[in-house]
């Protein structure tokens, strides 16, 4: 039992503090826990065969009964993608989300047939106030690049924590209300113990561009386009879909929406009233094939160069119905996610080779991100005037830049906590400290076969084989004596081409024979021991010869 004078407020970023993605934060006071967001992160290039990465919930094992609720700030996968995997393991606590966010979560849950428990969801409105255990929660509307995003104010016995979610200040957004500046200022005037603020664009100067500016640019491009217009963007960028619908209606063009995720999001948004579509404006892709190209706009996924997304399939001539035509204009209406630069460039090259005219955000204002630039971040700090500042949502470099911005507007350096994933922050009697203690925060990988932690030997093997390939050694051994029968067989995959390296293969075969010389004919073969001898001996031999370390897989056939 925790005594009254031992009570303290803990904030633990489970993940999302050293990457863009996998966002999840735990807030704990005595025996009450709330969680903010539960996202996924997409894999890096060396994570072969991994679909995505989710938070590590090791700290919450044994504390499931203390979880009073999970608050979701908005419907992007880096904030909701971990829900199907984690919620059942946490005892199915109530999820609190706005109307659109809830619909996206519930639709995605249907894709996980093996999850039998129905989600326990509660729809919130930005004007709602709720109580979860000791915590009193209120919300404020923010602008992002998906509607219905909220920030969260958590009133605790130690003071008020303010979590911005992903935000920008857009004074002329599309199809939604502007950020609730007045409510944020009121919360700031009441006193903020700690501000947790989005750091994604902490190196971008100025203010974020309004969606109204993007609409004006798209209007000019579409008005002047000599043929069909293809717009690649994020599947959840509903404001961009709405802008394109408005422009298409103005110039009497029809729209095709291609890509499962974009079709799904658009259907949900239209059903809930977040997307307003004139009757007959959206048509099927097959219908567009017989139309004048000047009357068609195609909105699709794939602007990040994803292998199976629509834009890549069009570029590779793998789409069932669509191919680049003369006079096509392709608009990349999204910024490039860090790590995707080379892939996106190859996609642009392929489209250009086919004759498309390419427009992207570095040439014209065809995209604005959903994250505030430096002046937006300063504005949030000045509105809230927090005692402590914690940058969130970004790699370490961006977190540090954001902390520097906070210092520039008057937050003392000692009150700016640049934390690692899993690092514990504590607040007691109005004072905070960033502890050296950490909770489990390692990667949990998800692929088609399930989940595994960052120490998973399967992933290490994949990385090993991708770097240096593999060599299979097949040896037939007499069981009773351990004597080698015949010549060992050698199979190479991704290491060397056998026909061009016959000398090396013969030397390797001779080395295997020497390793398997039977020193005691009376002793039966020990398969485990023989495999280890081959693995170690051949591995060392090949490195001396080639300076490569292929994975050596010994196969012993007992005869």
Whether residue 79 lies in the annotated active site: no
Catalytic position from the list 85, 367, 371, 402: 371
CA 388 to chain centre: 28
Dmax over Cα atoms in the chain, in whole Å?
90
Per-residue HEC secondary structure of 12-79 comes to EEEECCCECCCCEEEEEECCEEEEECCCCECCCCCCCCCCEEECCCHHHCCCHHHEEEEECCCCCHHH
Would strands 95-97 and 470-477 be described as parallel, antiparallel, or unpaired? unpaired
Catalytic position from the list 170, 198, 376, 468: 198
Q: What is the Cα–Cα distance from 518 to 516, expressed in whole angstroms?
A: 6
Handedness of CA 513, 517, 522, 528 (dihedral sign): negative
Would strands 135-141 and 150-156 be described as parallel, antiparallel, or unpaired? antiparallel
Q: Find the radius of gyration of the CA atoms of the chain.
A: 28
Partnered with residue 141 across adjacent β-strands are 150
Q: What is the DSSP string of 443-479?
A: -EEEETTEEEETT-HHHHHHHHHHHH-EEEEEEEE-T
Phi, then psi, of 510 in degrees rounded to 5: -65, -40
List Cα–Cα distances, 129 to 102, 283, 385, in angstroms: 18, 42, 22
535 within 8 A of 554, measured Cβ to Cβ: yes
Query: Cβ-count burial of 99 within 10 angstroms (0-12 exposed, 13-18 middle, 19+ buried)?
Result: middle
Whether residue 371 lies in the annotated active site: yes
Q: What is the Cα–Cα distance from 180 to 142, expressed in whole angstroms?
A: 7
Q: What is the Cα–Cα distance from 170 to 400, expressed in whole angstroms?
A: 25
- Among all residues, which ones are annotated catalytic? 198, 371
């Amino acid at each position: 039992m925790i005594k009254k004078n031992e009570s303290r407020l803990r904030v633990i970023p489970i993940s999302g503090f050293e990457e863009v993605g996998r966002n999840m934060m735990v807030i704990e006071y005595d025996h009450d826990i709330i969680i903010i967001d539960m996202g996924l992160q997409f894999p890096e290039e060396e994570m072969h065969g991994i679909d995505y990465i989710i938070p590590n919930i090791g700290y919450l094992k044994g504390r499931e009964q203390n979880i009073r609720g999970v608050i979701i700030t908005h419907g992007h996968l880096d904030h909701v993608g971990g829900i199907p995997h984690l919620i059942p393991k946490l005892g199915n606590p109530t999820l609190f989300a706005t109307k659109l966010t809830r619909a996206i979560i519930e639709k995605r849950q249907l894709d996980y047939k093996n999850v039998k428990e129905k989600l326990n969801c509660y729809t919130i409105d930005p004007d709602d106030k709720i109580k979860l255990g000791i915590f009193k929660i209120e919300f404020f509307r923010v602008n992002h690049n998906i509607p219905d995003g909220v920030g969260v104010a958590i009133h605790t016995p130690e003071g008020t924590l303010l979590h911005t979610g992903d935000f920008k200040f857009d004074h002329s957004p599309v199809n939604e209300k502007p950020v609730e500046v007045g409510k944020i200022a009121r919360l700031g005037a009441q006193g903020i113990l700690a501000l947790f603020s989005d750091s994604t664009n902490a190196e971008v100067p100025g203010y974020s561009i309004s969606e109204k500016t993007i609409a004006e640019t798209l209007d000019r491009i579409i008005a002047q386009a000599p043929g069909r217009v293809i717009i690649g963007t994020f599947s959840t960028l509903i404001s961009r879909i709405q802008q394109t619908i408005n422009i298409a209606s103005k110039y009497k063009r029809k729209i095709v929406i291609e890509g499962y995720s974009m079709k799904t999001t658009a259907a949900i948004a239209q059903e809930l009233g977040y997307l307003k579509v004139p009757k007959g404006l959206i048509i099927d892709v097959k219908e567009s094939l017989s139309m004048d190209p000047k009357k068609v706009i195609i909105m699709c996924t794939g602007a990040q160069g994803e292998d199976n997304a629509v834009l890549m399939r069009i570029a590779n001539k793998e789409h069932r119905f669509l191919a680049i035509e003369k006079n096509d204009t392709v608009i990349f209406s999204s910024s490039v996610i860090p790590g995707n630069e080379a892939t996106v460039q190859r996609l642009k090259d392929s489209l250009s080779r086919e004759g498309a005219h390419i427009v992207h955000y570095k040439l014209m204002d065809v995209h604005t991100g959903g994250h505030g630039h430096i002046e937006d971040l300063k504005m949030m700090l000045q509105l809230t005037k927090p005692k402590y500042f914690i940058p969130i949502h970004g790699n370490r470099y961006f977190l540090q830049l954001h902390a520097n911005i906070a210092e520039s507007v008057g937050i003392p350096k000692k009150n700016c906590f640049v934390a690692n994933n899993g690092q514990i922050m504590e607040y007691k009697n109005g004072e905070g400290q960033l502890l050296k203690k950490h909770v489990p925060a390692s990667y949990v990988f998800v692929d088609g076969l399930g989940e595994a932690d960052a120490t998973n030997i399967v992933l290490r093997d994949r990385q090993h084989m991708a770097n240096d390939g593999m060599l299979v050694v097949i040896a037939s051994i007499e069981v009773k004596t351990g004597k080698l029968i015949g010549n060992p067989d050698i199979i190479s995959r991704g290491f060397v081409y056998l026909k061009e390296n016959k000398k090396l293969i013969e030397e390797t075969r001779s080395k295997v024979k020497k390793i398997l010389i039977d020193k005691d004919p009376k002793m039966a073969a020990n398969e485990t021991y023989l495999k280890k001898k081959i693995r170690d001996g051949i591995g060392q031999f090949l490195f001396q010869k080639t300076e490569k370390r292929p994975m050596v897989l010994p196969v012993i056939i007992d005869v």
